[in-house]
């Protein structure tokens, strides 16, 4: 097949959608497919063009056999509303403008969010006269209302109408969670949805003994490290980590690591300093090749979201990376994510945004390293059986083949 994949994020960006798309596309290339990706000039999350890239109308590169087409981009930091909205809309406009100049394709795939990237797939599929598969990684506009980025208004109602329009027009829909399916089907996607969860590249994320060099760099030698790795966004409620760290200030052997970037990072850093939390280390976004070492440094992974009904349908992708690295999890998320962690035997589940429970769970694992190791081993075995990214890519390839016919 000739596959054209529309995505807002792609390596060298290191967030979850970039990793998912790259790993799926790489596997399709291995299967012999001709895979093209239409994406932005890398600038996430700081809104600055990455070194070595230029912001041109259209440029091409090859990555792991994938033909990558990068379009002129309006860079925008992962903070604020107006800049990001312009960034998202500009992607849709550019995708429509450059689509006629891209090679023929048998199927168009687009991923949402970002919302307008998902919707761009419909326009491009019309131009290329090819079927359209829509991937849903989050529910918009519900999630942006939940975190307070937008209030219920005419704009959110309009987005809701466009959401239903996209579900009706798509030839097939891929959802990353079972919990999204009733919502999608109720809004026009009946009979079209296949669930293909996130997963992990088990060859890249595999158990490692230590990360002594990184521990020295971050000043974490000899510490039991409880780490949150990922986006510092409005949805994650990372104040909970700071409050838990405050409770454990008298435990000199325990430290908290926050690794990543996002809209909340600067505020969290200021709050940490105001509270005088010497047991919290904050480092910026790390390159993908460094992530196994970050996880190797981690003794327990913190996977957290705010306490909201909407997030009970979300499965944070960092769950699979932590389990792949045989690291136990403390999970502050209800719903489908909780069922996965409990089913894996790989972690401890707490009430979302409950800093007392978070502190107790970290302290318990720090005092019982044998239990922590056993949880990690159980988690690794579970993802090997159920969430190998290669197997998941093959399942999605079958969906694409189905619409191509």
Q: 111-138, pLDDT tens digit by residue?
A: 987 889 999 999 999 999 999 999 999 8
Q: Where are the beta strands (DSSP E) in 106-242?
A: 107-112, 132-136, 172-175, 193-195, 224-229
Q: How many CB atoms lie within 10 A of CB 85?
A: 16
C-alpha 143/C-alpha 8 separation (Å) is 18
Q: Give one word for 138, left, alpha or beta, with left for phi > 0 and alpha for psi -120 to 50.
A: beta
307-345 per-position pLDDT tens digit: 988 888 889 999 999 999 999 999 999 999 999 999 999
Please give the pLDDT value at position 150.
53
Percent of the chain at pLDDT exceeding 70: 95
Domains 2-199+388-404 and 212-386 agree in fold = yes
The per-residue pLDDT for 217 is 94
Highest CATH level, class, for 212-386: alpha beta
Cα(145)–Cα(150) distance, rounded to whole angstroms?
Answer: 5
- Domain locations along the chain: 2-199+388-404, 212-386
Task: Quickly list H helices, 224-368.
Answer: 239-247, 265-275, 291-297, 318-324, 336-344, 355-367
Task: Please check whether residue 395 is in contact with residue 196, taking contact to mean a CB–CB distance below 8 angstroms.
Answer: yes
Start-end of H helices in 206-329: 212-218, 239-247, 265-275, 291-297, 318-324
pLDDT at 133: 98
Residue 149 has pLDDT above 90, yes or no: no
pLDDT(184) > 80: yes
What number of CA atoms fall less than 13 Å from residue 373's CA on the CB side? Answer: 6
Cβ partners under 8 Å of residue 338, min gap 6 = 331, 349
**Is 222:308 a contact under the CB 8 Å cutoff?**
no
241, two tokens: 């980590």
Q: If pLDDT is split at 50, 70 and 90, which confidence band does 50 have? A: very high
CA end-to-end distance (rounded Å), the chain: 11
Range 2-199+388-404 classified under CATH 3.40.50.2000: yes
- Single out the residue of 332, 18, 264, 313 nearest to residue 139, CA to CA: 313
CA distance 230 to 351: 20
pLDDT band of residue 359 (cuts 50, 70, 90) is very high
Residue entry with tokens 């807002």: 8
pLDDT at 222: 93
- How many of the other CB atoms lie within 10 Å of CB of 236? 27
What is the value of pTM for the model shown?
A: 0.86
Helix axes 336-344, 369-386, angle to 10 degrees: 110
Residue 145 has pLDDT above 80, yes or no: no
Q: Residue 221 has what DSSP assignment?
A: T
Residue carrying structure tokens 């326009």? 123
Distance, CA of 276 to CA of 245 (rounded, Å): 11
Which residue, 44, 28, 56, is CA-closest to 113? 44
């Amino acid at each position: 097949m000739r596959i054209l994949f529309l995505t807002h994020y792609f390596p060298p960006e290191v967030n979850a959608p970039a990793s998912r798309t790259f790993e799926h596309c790489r596997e399709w290339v291995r299967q012999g497919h001709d895979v093209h990706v239409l994406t932005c000039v890398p600038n996430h999350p700081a809104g600055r063009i990455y070194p070595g890239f230029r912001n041109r109308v259209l440029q091409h590169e090859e990555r792991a056999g994938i033909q990558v087409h990068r379009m002129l981009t309006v860079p925008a930091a992962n903070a604020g509303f107006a800049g990001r909205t312009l960034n998202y809309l500009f992607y849709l406009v550019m995708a429509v403008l450059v689509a006629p100049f891209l090679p023929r394709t048998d199927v168009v795939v687009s991923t949402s969010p970002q919302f307008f990237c998902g919707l761009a797939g419909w326009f491009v599929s019309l131009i290329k006269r090819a079927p359209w598969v829509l991937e849903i990684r989050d529910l918009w506009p519900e999630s942006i209302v939940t975190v307070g980025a937008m209030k219920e208004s005419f704009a959110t109602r309009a987005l809701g109408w466009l959401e239903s329009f996209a579900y009706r027009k798509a030839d097939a829909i891929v959802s990353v969670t079972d919990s999204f399916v009733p919502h999608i089907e109720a809004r026009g996607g009946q009979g079209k949805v296949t669930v293909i969860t996130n997963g992990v590249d088990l060859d890249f994320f595999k158990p490692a003994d230590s990360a002594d060099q990184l521990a020295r760099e971050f000043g974490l030698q000899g510490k039991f490290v409880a780490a949150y790795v990922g986006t510092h966004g409005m949805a994650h409620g990372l104040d909970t980590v700071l409050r838990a760290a405050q409770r454990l200030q008298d435990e000199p052997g325990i430290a908290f690591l926050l690794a990543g970037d996002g809209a909340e990072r600067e505020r969290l850093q200021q709050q940490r300093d105001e509270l005088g939390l010497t047991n919290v280390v904050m480092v910026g976004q790390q390159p993908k090749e460094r992530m196994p070492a970050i996880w190797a440094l981690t003794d327990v992974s913190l996977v957290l979201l705010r306490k909201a009904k909407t997030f009970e349908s979300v499965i944070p992708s960092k769950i699979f990376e932590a389990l792949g690295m045989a690291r136990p999890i403390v999970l502050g998320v209800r719903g489908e994510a909780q069922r996965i962690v409990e089913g894996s035997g790989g972690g401890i589940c707490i009430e979302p945004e409950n800093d007392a429970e978070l502190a107790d769970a970290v302290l318990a694992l720090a005092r019982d390293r044998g239990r922590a190791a056993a949880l990690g081993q159980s988690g690794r075995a579970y993802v090997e059986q159920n969430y190998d990214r290669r197997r998941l890519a093959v399942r999605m390839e079958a969906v694409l083949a189905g619409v191509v016919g």
